[in-house]
Every structure is written in structure tokens, then in C-alpha cells.
Amino acid sequence: MKILVVNCGSSSIKYQFFEMPEGTVLARGVLERIGEAESVLSHQAGGRRTAIRQAVQDHREGLDLVVKILLDEEVGALRDISEIFAIGHRVVHGGEKFSESTLITEEVIKVIREYGHLAPLHNPPNLMGIEAAESLLPEVPQVAVFDTAFHETLPPYAYLYALPYEFYEKHRIRRYGFHGTSHRYVAQKSAEFLEQPITALNMVTCHLGNGCSITAVRGGKSVDTSMGFTPLEGVVMGTRSGDLDPAILPFLAQEENLSIKEVVAILNKKSGLLGISGVSNDMREVQEAASDGNWRAQLALAIFAYRIKKNIGAYMAALGRLDVLVFTGGIGENASGVRATICSDMAEIGIELDAARNEDPKAKGKRIVSTDRSRTKVLIVPTDEEAMIATDTLELAEKARSGG
């Protein structure tokens, strides 16, 4: 059964096309610059890469182009459009309404729209993708997979802020958490890799990329996570500040003659690794500058690793016992030096990295990088959010088609 996974941004459509339940990727690509004079579709299938440049006015037209290239006799992966069994959509914010993936209905669309003000850069384009897919393929089941859903198991003492309670009642201000699909995926794959039931494991999963979040997972359920009401909270990221004293916002607004909106833009787009180093938000470029003696780049790396280490320690205390520490994401999977710095001086509390395993340039895929005597197993598990979306979509679409 063939599943199309779609992730829509404000001017882009990323997609992967799966053969399920095997999980084989038949095609993948991204359409960028939707609404501009020239849009670009980069497509890959069967070992061949194809690029199409043409004007694409909106997401409906963009998805139509994606389906057309999937049907192309030379570079496609479909013989007939009827082969598409279901479509899975990444949706960033499901609020408190969804604790798991769900078939898309009018009520679901209404909720996604309602939470658009909490994720204004993501939910509206996610919704555009859903509406485009429903228009193009009205008989095909559509499934929404929410970034926030995995964190709906947080207890109130973990998700509530110490604000007047009526702000939660009126505005639903609380910790929602993000990257949930990734955290859920690597937690499941870690348990499978270790051949242990996930219900018996306490884990901390570290999703480290341009956006970063840390999650405490007890028995397969999220019980705390570093991102909060928005993805700005938490550890240092590529361009986001992460945690800071909230009084800094009005102070900067006054001292720099900025609006609160302008200050928040700085915290989101000009801070983090970029703001500290003055070099880049790309970890590879920051590491290169640090190696060349750039002290601000060295400082950025130190702050980045220290904040993550503190979160791991806090979640160890919250969990009471840590069985598995997982690194994933572009930085988590590839930056051995960052992993080493994060895990340094933690042997006394049960985390001991094996330098040879951690730095092995030939090692790929899921693997253990801790020593044999480390009480906590440290794993690298490549994330695959699209595969998780495809799995959920297949399960729900089969139930829908069978009347279950």
C-alpha cells in the first residue's frame, strides 16, 4: 500500500512516498518558492534526480505538480493515482485536543485552524496542504500527525506555568512541547534495538538540529520536555535563545527602543549559536571557527553543550533512574565532539561515553556509544519522522477503509 507523506510550509511542500508496511521510500522531494515567479521542484526516485522550474501559484497547484511527477513514466513511482492508499500530513500544533494521530474530518480541520494563532508559521500552511490534498484526492483518507501529540501525557505539574491560573483557563497558556513525532520514533526504535519492552525503560531523548528539544520518556510516554508554549523555550538552538529571564524582554525593548514583537524576532532568529558565535547557526561552521581559535565560537559550543547537560541531569532527577540516553537529529547523530562534551564528567551519575565508539567515522545507523560499564546506555538513533507519519497513516487509513 502506497502512502504519501506531506509537510507543508508557508511556501514549500516536502514529501515522501512510501511502500507500506515495508517502509520503503519510493520517492521524495521538495517544492520551494510557491507563489513566486519561479518555483523549484527537486524530486528523487529510483536513483534519479529531477528538477522542474515553473510558476506555482499555491499549494493546490503545488500538490498537483507533485502528483504529476509521481505519475511520470520516467521519473515517477506511480502507475495510477488510485494507487495512493492514504495521505499523511505533518501538523505542528494540535493543542490539548489530540493525544495521538487522527483521521482528518471537518472537526479536526476546525481545531487545526483554532490553534493557528499558537503556531502561526506552521498550522496555516499545514492546513493549506490538507485542503489541497482533499481537493485533489477527495476519496483518499487523510491523516493528521501532530508534533504536540506525544507530549499530551505530561502531568499538570510539568506543563503548567506559575502564572495566574485564569490565563491557562482563558488562553490555554501551558507547555505543549514539539518534535513529538521524532521523540516518539527514536524512543520506540531504541527499545526495539535494545530488545527490551519500552514500558520498562526510562529514557531521555535529545533531538538536536537547528531546532533542539530534550524529552523525558517513562515507559514510552513523554513526562516532560524542554520546549514549551512555543518552540522558543528550552536549550540553545541554531538561532533561538532558549530559556532566559523573561524580564530581559521589556529591558531590551526599552534600552534598544524595540517593540516586543521585534525583541521576540531577535530571540527566534538572531540568537542561539548564531547570536553567541557571530559566525553561523550551522553547527559545522561554528565548530570549524572554534577549531580556528574563534573564542566566541568556542563559547557558543560550550553554552550549547552545557544547557543540554543541565536538562539531562534535571530529567534524570525527574525520572529517578535513567536507562537510556538517545541522541538524534543532524547534530545529535553527526557531531561526535558535541556528544562528548555533553556527556563529559557524568560517569559518577552513570553516563560514560566510549571515545572510540563515539568517534568512529565508519559507524552508521543505530548504535551504542557508551562504555560497557556505563549504567545508562547512550545510543545514536537516526530519526525518521516521515516513516512515523507513514506508519500512523497506514494504521488509521486501514481502519477507515474497513469501517473500523
Residues marked active site are found at 147
Q: Which residue has the cell 536513483?
A: 47
C-alpha cell at 101: 494521530
Closest listed residue to residue 376, CA positions, set 146, 203, 192: 203
Cβ proximity of 382 and 366 under 8 Å: yes
In 33-176, which ranges are E strands?
A: 39-45, 48-54, 84-91, 102-103, 142-146
Cβ proximity of 226 and 236 under 8 Å: no
Cβ proximity of 172 and 361 under 8 Å: no
* CA–CA–CA angle 147, 249, 331 (5° rounding): 40
Q: Is the dihedral of CA 285, 289, 294, 300 positive or negative?
A: positive
Look up residue 346 and give its amino acid: M
SS3 state at 92: coil
Q: How buried is 350 (Cβ within 10 angstroms: 0-12 exposed, 13-18 middle, 19+ buried)? A: middle
| Bridge partner residues of 16 (DSSP) | 5, 28
Look up residue 117 and give its amino acid: H
Q: Distance between CA atoms of 30 and 137, rounded to whole angstroms?
A: 20
Q: Give Cβ neighbours of residue 118 (< 8 Å, ≥ 6 apart).
A: 93, 95, 172, 176, 229, 230
Q: Distance between CA atoms of 260 and 225, rounded to whole angstroms?
A: 26
Q: Distance between CA atoms of 49 and 134, rounded to whole angstroms?
A: 28
| Bridge partner residues of 54 (DSSP) | 39
Q: Which residues of 176-201 are buried (b: 16+ CB within 10 A; e: fewer)?
A: bbbbbbbbbbbbbbbbebbeeebeeb
Alpha-carbon dihedral 111, 115, 121, 123, rounded to 10 degrees: -10
Q: How buried is 303 (Cβ within 10 angstroms: 0-12 exposed, 13-18 middle, 19+ buried)? A: middle
